Chain A
């Protein structure tokens, strides 16, 4: 017969093993699925890895795409640590993008760079944070499922962005395309020469990952977040204020995700456009970035670089094999499944015994 026991402890080495096994199995099965379309799976794998990590150009692109993933991933780690399933990073990112455009294009357009850019980040952060408060309040006050609320907000905000770029914000200088006018030079982030890496956002992301790591593991607030996540019952007995902690946690989570949107507007696109152009599903991919990092903001730096590479490689095989954009979701979904399976394998000990007669 089979017995399953919970293990007392598991080591960092085993944690690392989870990550590697999950990545390997997901890549393997995704490429098997590709082979259904008559594509050599090894060639597809080679293309993904080579185009993202195999050249200087590839690495630059990988880092560029890792920036929003890192910010969203850090934001999600905070919320997930408190078992608050914020699936709304996509909408929170777009909120940041909308507000950055608003500040950069309209209200602050004559301000000098040194004031304007921090202002864009600040307003973006506050806006994303406020969007994050909605599901937080509804969950604590009415016990409404946060997954549904955050997803619905994503859809609503996506439509709102489209409304803006087709309607009131449509640029006069964009030849009829659904873009806003371009931001002026003082609203643009500097980039590393010869790349698209807007390094101020990258620096913010790395600093935040350190900061949030300390917040989660070294402060009272972080402790309260973890207790709510791990054992809500004892959190209640300990007198932790669920409303206060959840609101703060989600304000930070939404705010940090929104910084990613500010970076995309001010560092990459220079104008607001279709939601799918501004974010190629960063908010959703970041769920796996955070989960693979086991909700550790420092490890998020690594996993976001890895997924940045997957997105770059994914783009390349999409164009060269004619795959649709959704293909990346196959890999993402498989990753989540395998992470769940390998969590089980390291948390429990399975033994097969013969029944003695």
Chain B
């Protein structure tokens, strides 16, 4: 590899890595929103995933246990949102915000002791034999950390379930027309609960990826607004898991762009740090245009509590 290829190689490689937590979060939010629930609590669920994953890895000396606990804590927070927004028919925006605050608060409180602690127990890189011998691509895609692969497999599985199975139809119908689903004997509440929990699990996992693979450390505020970017990416992906892949790696690229620009040009780091947020606004503008043109919109009953009528 000469210098230019190496640069391109490392940009793509790092974009894939920094896109992975965004991908995981977006996949979860796609399911949550498809069932008709808007969860603005991703930022908090990611934060608690990051801190619990890190903490439990320190205790158990095994990142896989950390990952499992991150998923559990993500689910626990998402259950609060499910309870308030589904069972109590509360305001989903307010409930989601409260989850974000709660998650950020608890993670800051819990993680104070971990600041500056290095992580000794990391995920081992995983090599896919034979394929890794392909020049350039081999090292780029076929050597990586296990969560990177899990996220790719999940993308495919979640896409398959959503579009090719009866389960997918049920989930989508709960977001598009809960009344009709109910009359067909589907329990809208249970479907929505399950989808919110899937969202929580994946957001927890995304957080664990940040603290266990991406940064290998814990600092307060390490989610840095990724939870909000995920919500924009969900719209950008038009609620389709495969398109989420595109959005997530695009934003992974924007995160990397900051470092590259800083290395080669003299731009204030604070201006560069704005890039992902400016990118988010642009992406929303772009998708607004596209949803109008293609007439693909959000699930029709997104954000609307479902109230089962007495028969």
**What is the interface of chain A, defined by CB distance below 8 A to chain B?**
3, 33, 37, 85, 87, 138, 142-145, 147-149, 151-153, 155-156, 159-160, 162-163, 166-167, 284, 287, 291, 322-337, 339-341, 343-344
Residue B108 at the chain A interface, CB threshold 8 Å:
yes
Cβ-defined contact, A329 with B91, below 8 A: no
Contacts of B104 in A (CB 8 A): 326, 329, 333
* The residue from B105, B231, B278 contacting A333, defined by CB atoms under 8 A apart: B105
**What is the interface of chain B, defined by CB distance below 8 A to chain A?**
40, 44, 80, 84, 88-91, 93-95, 97-109, 111-112, 220-221, 225, 228, 231-232, 235, 268, 270-271, 273-274, 277-278, 280-281, 284-285, 288-289, 292, 310
> Which 5 pairs across A and B sit closest by C-beta, in order of nearness?
A326-B108, A329-B105, A333-B102, A336-B98, A330-B105
Cβ-defined contact, B285 with A336, below 8 A: no
Closest to A146 in B: B93
Cβ-defined contact, A340 with B84, below 8 A: yes
Closest to A343 in B: B90
* The residue from A142, A155, A333 contacting B288, defined by CB atoms under 8 A apart: A142
Contacts of B44 in A (CB 8 A): 333
Cβ-defined contact, B101 with A322, below 8 A: no
Given contacts A142-B292, A332-B105, 12 further A-B contacts (CB under 8 A): A138-B285, A142-B285, A142-B288, A152-B232, A155-B225, A160-B274, A329-B108, A330-B109, A333-B44, A336-B98, A337-B102, A340-B98
* The residue from A33, A145, A284, A336 contacting B106, defined by CB atoms under 8 A apart: A33
Q: Min CB distance, A282 to chain B, in Å? A: 14
Q: Min CB distance, A339 to chain B, in Å? A: 8
Contacts of B100 in A (CB 8 A): 333
Interface pairs (16), CB distance under 8 Å: A3-B310, A142-B288, A145-B284, A147-B231, A152-B280, A156-B278, A159-B273, A160-B270, A324-B108, A324-B111, A325-B108, A327-B109, A333-B44, A333-B98, A334-B102, A340-B94
Question: In the complex the two chains form, what is the Cα distance from A90 to B268 in whole Å?
Answer: 23
Question: In the complex the two chains form, what is the Cα distance from A118 to B107 in whole Å?
Answer: 42
Contacts of A144 in B (CB 8 A): 284-285, 288
Cβ-defined contact, A326 with B228, below 8 A: no
Cβ-defined contact, A151 with B228, below 8 A: yes
Q: What secondary structure prevails in chain B residues at the interface with A?
A: helix
Q: Min CB distance, A45 to chain B, in Å? A: 16
Question: In the complex the two chains form, what is the Cα distance from A167 to B108 in whole Å?
Answer: 29
Cβ-defined contact, A155 with B274, below 8 A: yes
Closest to A335 in B: B98
Cβ-defined contact, B268 with A163, below 8 A: yes
Contacts of A149 in B (CB 8 A): 281, 284
Cβ-defined contact, B101 with A333, below 8 A: yes
Contacts of A324 in B (CB 8 A): 108-109, 111-112, 220
Cβ-defined contact, A145 with B271, below 8 A: no
Q: Min CB distance, B257 to chain A, in Å? A: 15
Contacts of A323 in B (CB 8 A): 109, 112
Cβ-defined contact, B90 with A340, below 8 A: yes
Question: In the complex the two chains form, what is the Cα distance from A340 to B98 in whole Å?
Answer: 10
Question: In the complex the two chains form, what is the Cα distance from A344 to B292 in whole Å?
Answer: 36
Question: In the complex the two chains form, what is the Cα distance from A156 to B281 in whole Å?
Answer: 11
Cβ-defined contact, A145 with B97, below 8 A: no
* The residue from B94, B108, B270, B292 contacting A162, defined by CB atoms under 8 A apart: B270
Cβ-defined contact, B285 with A284, below 8 A: no
Question: In the complex the two chains form, what is the Cα distance from A160 to B225 in whole Å?
Answer: 16
Cβ-defined contact, B97 with A87, below 8 A: yes
Question: In the complex the two chains form, what is the Cα distance from A335 to B102 in whole Å?
Answer: 10
Contacts of A87 in B (CB 8 A): 97
Question: In the complex the two chains form, what is the Cα distance from A334 to B97 in whole Å?
Answer: 11
Question: In the complex the two chains form, what is the Cα distance from A153 to B101 in whole Å?
Answer: 18
Closest to A5 in B: B310
Cβ-defined contact, A332 with B101, below 8 A: yes
Contacts of A148 in B (CB 8 A): 228, 231-232, 280, 284
Known contacts A143-B288, A327-B105, A337-B102: does B228 contact A152 (CB below 8 Å)? yes
Closest to B310 in A: A3
